[in-house]
Copies of this chain bind each other. A is one copy, B any other.
Amino acid sequence: MAQEQAKKSEDLGLVPVGKTLPILLVRARDVLLSYWRDVLAEMNFTEQQWRVLRVTAELGPLDISRLSSETALHMPSVTRILQTLDKRGYITRRRDEADSRRSWIDVTDKTREKMAEAGKHSDAIYGEILASFDESKMDELIRLLNEFTDIREKQSD
């Protein structure tokens, strides 16, 4: 039965799926989120909402296109997320004087308070992860991911 399965896999001429980059990336993200799940649930944010808030707090007033690229979220998602964060009082919008299509997003003080709380959790989580996965490995992983991500930009199409 195990042999039969191995044969099948060979017949298809494909790499075993479980060892495949897309699934590994999903799994890694799941592991990472498992550390944050409780913290996020307690603050009543999704991971994506949190990303929007962190980027906005860090990079100050920015427009939605930039927010989209910095957070690696598609613009439709950013639009929706900003709508709910706006209702809940975590962000502000200001129309650009010169170009009224563009609006500038920033966080409120309410957000900055949440952020300060979360900073402690962040340190704790990071420490917990580094206890199982050395900082040197983490650096190398981040380096390789950055390099992998850049392979698209270096091409001429």
Contact = CB atoms under 8 A, between A and B. Distances in A.
Given A32-B22, A72-B27, A119-B14, A60 B4 contact: yes
A145 interface: yes
B16 A58 contact: yes
B5 A152 contact: no
Contacts of A13: 119, 123
A24 B149 contact: yes
21 contacts: A5-B60, A8-B58, A8-B59, A12-B115, A13-B123, A14-B54, A16-B58, A17-B70, A18-B70, A19-B142, A21-B145, A22-B32, A24-B149, A26-B72, A28-B149, A29-B29, A30-B72, A31-B148, A133-B147, A133-B151, A137-B148
Interface of A: 4-5, 8-9, 12-19, 21-34, 47, 51, 54-55, 57-60, 70-72, 112, 115-116, 119, 122-123, 126, 129, 132-133, 137-138, 140-142, 144-149, 151-152, 154-155
